[in-house]
Amino acid sequence: MTGNNQPIKGFRFSAIAAGVKKAGTERLDLALIASDIPAQAAAVTTRNLVCAAPVEIVRERLQSGLCQAALMNSGNANAYTGAQGKSDAYELTELTAKKLGISPELIVPMSTGVIGNPLPMERLRPKIPPLVERLDSSSYMDVAHAIMTTDTKPKTGILDSETSTTPFRILGMAKGAGMIAPDMATLLAVILTDVKVPPSLLKEFLVQAAAETFNRVTIDGDTSTNDTLLVLSGGHQGAIDLGQNSSDEESFFSALKTACRDLSRQIVRDGEGVTKVVDIHVLGTKNEADALKVARKIAESPLVKTAFHGEDPNWGRIVCSAGRAGVVFRPDNLDLSIGGIPIVRNGFLVSEDWETAAHAAMQQPEFTVELDLKMGNSSTTVLTTDFSEEYVSINADYRS
Protein backbone atom coordinates (compact mmCIF):
# COMPACT_ATOMS: atom_id res chain seq x y z
CA MET A 1 0.00 0.00 0.00
CA THR A 2 1.25 3.43 -0.82
CA GLY A 3 -1.35 4.95 1.50
CA ASN A 4 -4.21 7.28 0.85
CA ASN A 5 -1.95 10.28 0.49
CA GLN A 6 -0.40 8.69 -2.55
CA PRO A 7 -2.86 6.11 -3.84
CA ILE A 8 -0.78 5.40 -6.94
CA LYS A 9 2.89 6.06 -7.46
CA GLY A 10 3.77 8.56 -10.17
CA PHE A 11 0.43 10.29 -10.71
CA ARG A 12 -1.12 13.51 -9.46
CA PHE A 13 -4.69 14.73 -9.56
CA SER A 14 -6.68 17.93 -9.59
CA ALA A 15 -10.27 19.03 -10.09
CA ILE A 16 -11.98 22.40 -10.16
CA ALA A 17 -15.39 23.99 -10.72
CA ALA A 18 -15.26 25.72 -14.11
CA GLY A 19 -18.96 26.25 -14.76
CA VAL A 20 -18.80 24.24 -17.97
CA LYS A 21 -22.53 23.74 -18.32
CA LYS A 22 -23.61 26.87 -16.50
CA ALA A 23 -21.49 29.75 -15.26
CA GLY A 24 -21.15 30.23 -11.55
CA THR A 25 -21.95 26.73 -10.29
CA GLU A 26 -19.71 25.15 -7.69
CA ARG A 27 -19.82 21.66 -9.15
CA LEU A 28 -16.41 20.11 -9.96
CA ASP A 29 -16.39 19.70 -13.75
CA LEU A 30 -12.81 20.13 -14.96
CA ALA A 31 -10.11 17.66 -13.96
CA LEU A 32 -6.53 16.79 -14.64
CA ILE A 33 -4.53 13.63 -14.17
CA ALA A 34 -0.79 14.10 -14.64
CA SER A 35 2.01 11.63 -14.67
CA ASP A 36 5.44 12.53 -13.23
CA ILE A 37 7.06 11.41 -16.47
CA PRO A 38 5.65 10.50 -19.89
CA ALA A 39 3.74 7.29 -19.23
CA GLN A 40 3.27 4.33 -21.54
CA ALA A 41 -0.22 4.80 -22.89
CA ALA A 42 -3.02 3.12 -24.82
CA ALA A 43 -6.71 3.79 -25.34
CA VAL A 44 -9.82 2.30 -26.84
CA THR A 45 -12.43 4.71 -28.16
CA THR A 46 -15.98 4.70 -29.48
CA ARG A 47 -16.71 2.91 -32.73
CA ASN A 48 -19.41 5.41 -33.60
CA LEU A 49 -18.83 7.13 -36.96
CA VAL A 50 -19.89 10.33 -35.25
CA CYS A 51 -17.16 10.90 -32.70
CA ALA A 52 -16.29 13.85 -30.53
CA ALA A 53 -13.32 16.17 -31.08
CA PRO A 54 -11.44 14.89 -28.02
CA VAL A 55 -11.78 11.32 -29.29
CA GLU A 56 -10.07 12.32 -32.53
CA ILE A 57 -7.24 13.94 -30.60
CA VAL A 58 -6.83 10.90 -28.34
CA ARG A 59 -6.43 8.77 -31.47
CA GLU A 60 -3.85 11.13 -32.96
CA ARG A 61 -1.74 11.63 -29.88
CA LEU A 62 -1.67 8.06 -28.61
CA GLN A 63 -0.02 6.93 -31.83
CA SER A 64 3.23 7.73 -30.02
CA GLY A 65 2.41 5.31 -27.20
CA LEU A 66 3.22 8.03 -24.68
CA CYS A 67 1.00 10.32 -22.66
CA GLN A 68 1.69 12.46 -19.63
CA ALA A 69 -1.68 13.98 -18.79
CA ALA A 70 -5.43 13.73 -19.33
CA LEU A 71 -7.55 16.87 -19.23
CA MET A 72 -11.16 15.94 -18.60
CA ASN A 73 -14.44 17.77 -18.32
CA SER A 74 -18.09 16.94 -17.77
CA GLY A 75 -21.12 18.99 -18.79
CA ASN A 76 -20.13 19.35 -22.44
CA ALA A 77 -19.13 16.50 -24.75
CA ASN A 78 -17.45 18.73 -27.33
CA ALA A 79 -19.10 16.44 -29.87
CA TYR A 80 -20.58 17.52 -33.17
CA THR A 81 -18.86 20.86 -32.75
CA GLY A 82 -16.91 20.77 -36.03
CA ALA A 83 -13.54 22.41 -36.58
CA GLN A 84 -14.18 24.76 -33.69
CA GLY A 85 -14.49 21.84 -31.30
CA LYS A 86 -11.15 20.45 -32.32
CA SER A 87 -9.32 23.75 -32.15
CA ASP A 88 -10.84 24.42 -28.71
CA ALA A 89 -9.61 21.07 -27.44
CA TYR A 90 -6.16 21.71 -28.91
CA GLU A 91 -6.03 25.11 -27.27
CA LEU A 92 -6.94 23.77 -23.83
CA THR A 93 -4.32 21.06 -23.98
CA GLU A 94 -1.76 23.64 -25.10
CA LEU A 95 -2.57 25.90 -22.18
CA THR A 96 -2.24 22.93 -19.86
CA ALA A 97 1.03 21.81 -21.47
CA LYS A 98 2.50 25.27 -21.13
CA LYS A 99 1.64 25.45 -17.45
CA LEU A 100 2.97 21.91 -16.90
CA GLY A 101 6.05 22.65 -18.96
CA ILE A 102 5.63 19.69 -21.28
CA SER A 103 4.75 19.12 -24.94
CA PRO A 104 1.02 19.44 -25.82
CA GLU A 105 1.41 16.19 -27.76
CA LEU A 106 1.64 14.45 -24.38
CA ILE A 107 -1.79 15.61 -23.23
CA VAL A 108 -5.14 14.10 -24.20
CA PRO A 109 -8.55 15.74 -23.76
CA MET A 110 -11.61 13.74 -22.64
CA SER A 111 -15.09 15.25 -22.54
CA THR A 112 -18.54 14.11 -21.48
CA GLY A 113 -21.89 15.89 -21.40
CA VAL A 114 -24.34 17.50 -23.79
CA ILE A 115 -23.41 17.37 -27.46
CA GLY A 116 -23.66 20.03 -30.13
CA ASN A 117 -22.57 22.98 -28.03
CA PRO A 118 -19.12 24.59 -28.27
CA LEU A 119 -17.01 24.52 -25.11
CA PRO A 120 -17.35 27.70 -23.01
CA MET A 121 -13.73 28.66 -23.66
CA GLU A 122 -13.96 32.00 -21.89
CA ARG A 123 -14.75 30.17 -18.66
CA LEU A 124 -12.34 27.28 -19.21
CA ARG A 125 -9.16 29.17 -20.18
CA PRO A 126 -8.67 30.96 -16.84
CA LYS A 127 -9.22 27.73 -14.89
CA ILE A 128 -6.27 25.91 -16.43
CA PRO A 129 -3.51 27.54 -14.34
CA PRO A 130 -5.20 26.95 -10.96
CA LEU A 131 -6.09 23.42 -12.07
CA VAL A 132 -2.42 22.66 -12.70
CA GLU A 133 -1.31 24.40 -9.52
CA ARG A 134 -3.59 22.27 -7.39
CA LEU A 135 -2.21 18.94 -8.62
CA ASP A 136 -1.48 16.60 -5.75
CA SER A 137 -0.93 12.92 -5.17
CA SER A 138 -4.13 12.23 -3.30
CA SER A 139 -7.13 13.90 -5.00
CA TYR A 140 -8.23 11.13 -7.33
CA MET A 141 -11.72 11.05 -5.79
CA ASP A 142 -12.19 14.68 -6.80
CA VAL A 143 -11.38 13.72 -10.39
CA ALA A 144 -13.86 10.86 -10.22
CA HIS A 145 -16.50 13.32 -9.00
CA ALA A 146 -15.64 15.89 -11.65
CA ILE A 147 -16.35 13.57 -14.57
CA MET A 148 -19.82 12.53 -13.34
CA THR A 149 -22.92 13.53 -15.31
CA THR A 150 -26.10 11.67 -14.30
CA ASP A 151 -24.00 9.22 -12.29
CA THR A 152 -25.30 9.10 -8.75
CA LYS A 153 -21.90 8.16 -7.36
CA PRO A 154 -18.25 8.18 -8.44
CA LYS A 155 -16.77 4.93 -9.72
CA THR A 156 -13.25 4.09 -8.61
CA GLY A 157 -11.27 1.07 -7.62
CA ILE A 158 -7.81 0.13 -6.40
CA LEU A 159 -6.43 -3.31 -7.03
CA ASP A 160 -3.17 -4.73 -5.67
CA SER A 161 -1.43 -7.59 -7.40
CA GLU A 162 2.09 -8.75 -8.03
CA THR A 163 4.47 -9.92 -10.69
CA SER A 164 6.88 -12.75 -10.02
CA THR A 165 9.18 -10.30 -8.29
CA THR A 166 7.24 -7.33 -7.05
CA PRO A 167 3.86 -5.96 -6.06
CA PHE A 168 2.04 -3.52 -8.32
CA ARG A 169 -1.15 -1.53 -8.20
CA ILE A 170 -3.92 -0.50 -10.56
CA LEU A 171 -6.15 2.49 -9.87
CA GLY A 172 -9.23 2.99 -12.04
CA MET A 173 -11.95 5.56 -12.32
CA ALA A 174 -14.90 5.83 -14.65
CA LYS A 175 -18.10 7.69 -15.34
CA GLY A 176 -21.07 5.96 -16.84
CA ALA A 177 -24.66 6.20 -15.72
CA GLY A 178 -25.54 3.87 -18.51
CA MET A 179 -23.38 2.21 -21.10
CA ILE A 180 -24.86 5.13 -22.79
CA ALA A 181 -25.51 8.10 -20.64
CA PRO A 182 -27.85 10.89 -21.59
CA ASP A 183 -26.87 12.73 -24.70
CA MET A 184 -24.38 10.02 -25.48
CA ALA A 185 -21.91 11.52 -23.09
CA THR A 186 -21.38 8.10 -21.67
CA LEU A 187 -18.27 6.24 -20.82
CA LEU A 188 -15.01 7.83 -19.79
CA ALA A 189 -12.53 5.72 -17.89
CA VAL A 190 -8.91 6.09 -16.87
CA ILE A 191 -6.77 3.29 -15.53
CA LEU A 192 -3.42 4.06 -13.94
CA THR A 193 -0.76 1.58 -12.96
CA ASP A 194 2.67 1.84 -11.40
CA VAL A 195 4.09 -0.96 -13.49
CA LYS A 196 5.63 -0.13 -16.84
CA VAL A 197 4.17 -2.03 -19.76
CA PRO A 198 5.43 -1.60 -23.33
CA PRO A 199 2.81 0.43 -25.30
CA SER A 200 2.12 -2.22 -27.92
CA LEU A 201 1.50 -4.84 -25.26
CA LEU A 202 -0.54 -2.35 -23.25
CA LYS A 203 -2.79 -1.71 -26.24
CA GLU A 204 -3.19 -5.41 -26.91
CA PHE A 205 -4.12 -6.10 -23.30
CA LEU A 206 -6.48 -3.14 -23.15
CA VAL A 207 -8.35 -4.08 -26.32
CA GLN A 208 -8.80 -7.62 -25.06
CA ALA A 209 -9.75 -6.57 -21.54
CA ALA A 210 -12.29 -4.04 -22.87
CA ALA A 211 -13.78 -6.66 -25.17
CA GLU A 212 -14.38 -8.94 -22.20
CA THR A 213 -15.63 -6.28 -19.79
CA PHE A 214 -16.70 -2.81 -20.95
CA ASN A 215 -17.92 -4.21 -24.25
CA ARG A 216 -19.92 -6.90 -22.49
CA VAL A 217 -22.24 -4.53 -20.70
CA THR A 218 -25.28 -2.75 -22.04
CA ILE A 219 -27.81 -0.38 -20.60
CA ASP A 220 -29.72 0.48 -23.73
CA GLY A 221 -27.62 -0.76 -26.61
CA ASP A 222 -26.56 2.66 -27.81
CA THR A 223 -22.95 3.67 -28.51
CA SER A 224 -21.72 7.08 -27.58
CA THR A 225 -19.77 9.68 -29.50
CA ASN A 226 -17.30 10.09 -26.64
CA ASP A 227 -16.43 6.68 -25.21
CA THR A 228 -12.79 6.66 -24.18
CA LEU A 229 -10.95 4.19 -22.01
CA LEU A 230 -7.38 5.36 -21.35
CA VAL A 231 -4.62 3.48 -19.58
CA LEU A 232 -1.40 5.10 -18.37
CA SER A 233 1.37 2.92 -17.08
CA GLY A 234 4.60 3.43 -15.15
CA GLY A 235 4.31 7.14 -14.50
CA HIS A 236 7.37 7.44 -12.31
CA GLN A 237 11.11 7.04 -12.39
CA GLY A 238 12.24 3.52 -11.69
CA ALA A 239 8.87 1.94 -12.33
CA ILE A 240 9.02 -1.82 -12.51
CA ASP A 241 9.35 -2.92 -16.09
CA LEU A 242 6.95 -5.72 -16.96
CA GLY A 243 9.56 -7.13 -19.31
CA GLN A 244 8.80 -10.23 -21.31
CA ASN A 245 8.21 -12.70 -18.53
CA SER A 246 5.04 -14.42 -19.67
CA SER A 247 3.81 -15.17 -16.15
CA ASP A 248 4.23 -11.49 -15.27
CA GLU A 249 2.34 -10.55 -18.42
CA GLU A 250 -0.41 -12.88 -17.36
CA SER A 251 -0.52 -11.37 -13.86
CA PHE A 252 -0.82 -7.88 -15.26
CA PHE A 253 -3.41 -8.79 -17.87
CA SER A 254 -5.49 -10.59 -15.28
CA ALA A 255 -5.34 -7.60 -12.90
CA LEU A 256 -6.23 -5.21 -15.73
CA LYS A 257 -9.24 -7.32 -16.65
CA THR A 258 -10.36 -7.45 -13.03
CA ALA A 259 -10.08 -3.67 -12.75
CA CYS A 260 -12.05 -3.19 -15.98
CA ARG A 261 -14.68 -5.68 -14.90
CA ASP A 262 -15.09 -3.98 -11.55
CA LEU A 263 -15.48 -0.52 -13.11
CA SER A 264 -17.89 -1.71 -15.78
CA ARG A 265 -20.05 -3.44 -13.16
CA GLN A 266 -20.09 -0.24 -11.11
CA ILE A 267 -21.27 1.59 -14.21
CA VAL A 268 -24.09 -0.86 -14.80
CA ARG A 269 -25.18 -0.77 -11.16
CA ASP A 270 -25.44 3.00 -11.37
CA GLY A 271 -27.23 2.94 -14.75
CA GLU A 272 -30.10 5.33 -15.27
CA GLY A 273 -33.16 4.11 -13.45
CA VAL A 274 -31.59 0.69 -12.90
CA THR A 275 -33.15 -1.54 -10.26
CA LYS A 276 -31.85 -4.90 -11.53
CA VAL A 277 -28.41 -6.02 -12.69
CA VAL A 278 -28.54 -9.22 -14.69
CA ASP A 279 -25.79 -11.48 -15.99
CA ILE A 280 -26.95 -13.03 -19.27
CA HIS A 281 -24.91 -16.20 -19.58
CA VAL A 282 -25.21 -17.96 -22.92
CA LEU A 283 -23.45 -21.28 -23.34
CA GLY A 284 -23.36 -24.28 -25.61
CA THR A 285 -22.68 -22.34 -28.82
CA LYS A 286 -20.33 -23.28 -31.65
CA ASN A 287 -18.17 -20.21 -31.04
CA GLU A 288 -18.01 -17.20 -28.79
CA ALA A 289 -19.30 -14.87 -31.50
CA ASP A 290 -22.56 -16.83 -31.61
CA ALA A 291 -22.87 -16.71 -27.83
CA LEU A 292 -22.31 -12.97 -27.91
CA LYS A 293 -24.94 -12.40 -30.61
CA VAL A 294 -27.56 -14.29 -28.61
CA ALA A 295 -26.59 -12.72 -25.27
CA ARG A 296 -26.72 -9.22 -26.75
CA LYS A 297 -30.15 -9.73 -28.32
CA ILE A 298 -31.50 -10.87 -24.98
CA ALA A 299 -29.67 -8.12 -23.09
CA GLU A 300 -31.00 -5.39 -25.37
CA SER A 301 -34.61 -6.52 -25.77
CA PRO A 302 -36.96 -3.94 -24.25
CA LEU A 303 -39.45 -6.71 -23.58
CA VAL A 304 -36.93 -8.79 -21.66
CA LYS A 305 -35.73 -5.74 -19.76
CA THR A 306 -39.22 -4.62 -18.79
CA ALA A 307 -39.97 -8.16 -17.58
CA PHE A 308 -36.83 -7.97 -15.40
CA HIS A 309 -38.18 -4.73 -14.00
CA GLY A 310 -41.48 -6.43 -13.16
CA GLU A 311 -39.61 -9.38 -11.59
CA ASP A 312 -41.63 -11.50 -14.01
CA PRO A 313 -39.96 -14.79 -15.08
CA ASN A 314 -41.36 -14.32 -18.57
CA TRP A 315 -39.02 -16.88 -20.12
CA GLY A 316 -40.85 -16.84 -23.47
CA ARG A 317 -39.49 -13.39 -24.19
CA ILE A 318 -35.95 -14.62 -23.56
CA VAL A 319 -36.32 -17.56 -25.93
CA CYS A 320 -37.94 -15.28 -28.51
CA SER A 321 -35.06 -12.80 -28.36
CA ALA A 322 -32.56 -15.60 -28.77
CA GLY A 323 -34.48 -16.74 -31.82
CA ARG A 324 -33.92 -13.49 -33.64
CA ALA A 325 -30.16 -13.27 -33.04
CA GLY A 326 -29.28 -14.79 -36.40
CA VAL A 327 -27.76 -17.87 -34.78
CA VAL A 328 -29.02 -21.33 -35.66
CA PHE A 329 -30.02 -23.54 -32.75
CA ARG A 330 -32.73 -26.03 -31.84
CA PRO A 331 -35.47 -24.34 -29.80
CA ASP A 332 -36.79 -27.77 -28.84
CA ASN A 333 -33.54 -28.75 -27.12
CA LEU A 334 -32.45 -25.79 -25.01
CA ASP A 335 -32.09 -25.33 -21.27
CA LEU A 336 -33.02 -22.08 -19.57
CA SER A 337 -32.83 -20.98 -15.97
CA ILE A 338 -33.41 -17.68 -14.21
CA GLY A 339 -31.75 -16.94 -10.90
CA GLY A 340 -30.53 -20.52 -10.81
CA ILE A 341 -34.07 -21.92 -11.09
CA PRO A 342 -34.42 -24.36 -14.00
CA ILE A 343 -37.40 -23.41 -16.19
CA VAL A 344 -36.86 -25.13 -19.53
CA ARG A 345 -34.96 -28.43 -19.87
CA ASN A 346 -34.42 -30.02 -23.29
CA GLY A 347 -37.04 -27.71 -24.71
CA PHE A 348 -39.73 -28.65 -22.19
CA LEU A 349 -41.04 -26.60 -19.31
CA VAL A 350 -40.00 -28.31 -16.09
CA SER A 351 -42.84 -29.84 -14.12
CA GLU A 352 -42.01 -28.26 -10.74
CA ASP A 353 -43.40 -24.90 -9.70
CA TRP A 354 -40.59 -22.84 -11.16
CA GLU A 355 -42.71 -19.69 -11.28
CA THR A 356 -42.74 -18.90 -7.57
CA ALA A 357 -39.06 -19.74 -7.15
CA ALA A 358 -37.95 -17.76 -10.20
CA HIS A 359 -40.03 -14.78 -9.17
CA ALA A 360 -38.37 -14.87 -5.75
CA ALA A 361 -34.92 -15.01 -7.35
CA MET A 362 -35.78 -11.98 -9.48
CA GLN A 363 -36.69 -9.97 -6.41
CA GLN A 364 -32.96 -9.80 -5.69
CA PRO A 365 -31.11 -6.75 -7.08
CA GLU A 366 -28.80 -9.02 -9.08
CA PHE A 367 -29.46 -12.37 -10.70
CA THR A 368 -28.39 -14.53 -13.62
CA VAL A 369 -30.15 -15.79 -16.74
CA GLU A 370 -28.53 -18.91 -18.13
CA LEU A 371 -29.35 -20.19 -21.60
CA ASP A 372 -27.70 -23.38 -22.85
CA LEU A 373 -28.21 -23.90 -26.59
CA LYS A 374 -26.32 -27.24 -26.64
CA MET A 375 -24.76 -26.66 -30.03
CA GLY A 376 -21.11 -26.53 -28.91
CA ASN A 377 -18.72 -25.63 -26.14
CA SER A 378 -18.45 -21.85 -26.32
CA SER A 379 -20.01 -19.32 -24.02
CA THR A 380 -20.07 -15.71 -22.93
CA THR A 381 -21.72 -13.39 -20.43
CA VAL A 382 -23.24 -9.97 -21.05
CA LEU A 383 -24.19 -7.74 -18.16
CA THR A 384 -27.47 -5.89 -18.54
CA THR A 385 -30.15 -4.11 -16.56
CA ASP A 386 -33.88 -3.70 -16.36
CA PHE A 387 -35.80 -0.94 -18.12
CA SER A 388 -37.73 1.13 -15.62
CA GLU A 389 -40.25 3.95 -15.77
CA GLU A 390 -37.47 6.04 -14.23
CA TYR A 391 -35.18 5.36 -17.21
CA VAL A 392 -37.85 6.89 -19.40
CA SER A 393 -38.35 9.87 -17.10
CA ILE A 394 -34.61 10.59 -16.87
CA ASN A 395 -34.19 10.48 -20.62
CA ALA A 396 -37.42 12.05 -21.78
CA ASP A 397 -36.27 15.53 -20.96
CA TYR A 398 -32.63 15.33 -20.04
CA ARG A 399 -31.43 18.60 -21.42
CA SER A 400 -33.80 20.94 -19.64
- Cα gap 61→398, rounded to integer Å: 33
- Kindly list the distances between the CA atom of residue 161 and the CA atoms of 170, 251, 252, in Å, as whole numbers in the listed order: 8, 8, 8
Is 26 annotated for ligand binding?
A: no
- Cα gap 240→234, rounded to integer Å: 7
- Shortest approach of a copy of itself to residue 167 CB, angstroms? 41
Q: Which is nearer to a copy of itself, 126 or 302 (CB)?
A: 302
Q: Which is nearer to a copy of itself, 200 or 346 (CB)?
A: 346
- Shortest approach of a copy of itself to residue 289 CB, angstroms? 16
Is 149 annotated for ligand binding?
A: yes
Is 249 annotated for ligand binding?
A: no
* Cβ-contact 226, 184 below 8 angstroms: yes
- Residue 186 is among the residues annotated as catalytic for this protein: yes
Is 73 annotated for ligand binding?
A: no
- Cα gap 363→338, rounded to integer Å: 11
Helices and strands in the chain, H and E counts: 12, 16
Residues in the site for a copy of itself, rule: CB under 8 A? 47-51, 79-80, 82, 114-116, 180, 182-184, 220-225, 301-303, 306-307, 309-312, 314-317, 319-324, 327-329, 331-332, 347-349, 387-389, 391-393, 395-400
Strands 366-372 and 335-338: antiparallel
Q: Which is nearer to a copy of itself, 33 or 394 (CB)?
A: 394
Q: Which is nearer to a copy of itself, 172 or 284 (CB)?
A: 284
What DSSP string describes 106-160? Answer: GEEEEEEEESSS---HHHHGGGHHHHHHT-BSSTHHHHHHHT-SS-SS-EEEEEE
- Cα gap 200→211, rounded to integer Å: 17
- Cα gap 332→341, rounded to integer Å: 19
What DSSP string describes 323-348? Answer: HTSS----GGG-EEEETTEEEEETTE
Is 400 annotated for ligand binding?
A: yes
**Cβ neighbours around 357 below 10 Å, total:** 17
Q: Which is nearer to a copy of itself, 66 or 219 (CB)?
A: 219
Catalytic choice (186, 193, 218, 285): 186
Q: Which is nearer to a copy of itself, 180 or 191 (CB)?
A: 180
Please, what's the b/e burial string for 204-224 (b: 16 or more CB within 10 A of its CB; e: otherwise)?
A: ebbeebbeebbbbbbbbeebb
From first CA to last CA, the distance across the chain in angstroms is 44
- Output the CA torsion 53→55→58→61 (10° steps): -50
Q: Which residues are annotated as a binding site?
A: 149, 175, 186, 272, 395, 400
For the annotated catalytic residues, the residue numbers are 186
Q: Which residues are annotated as a binding site for substrate?
A: 149, 175, 186, 272, 395, 400
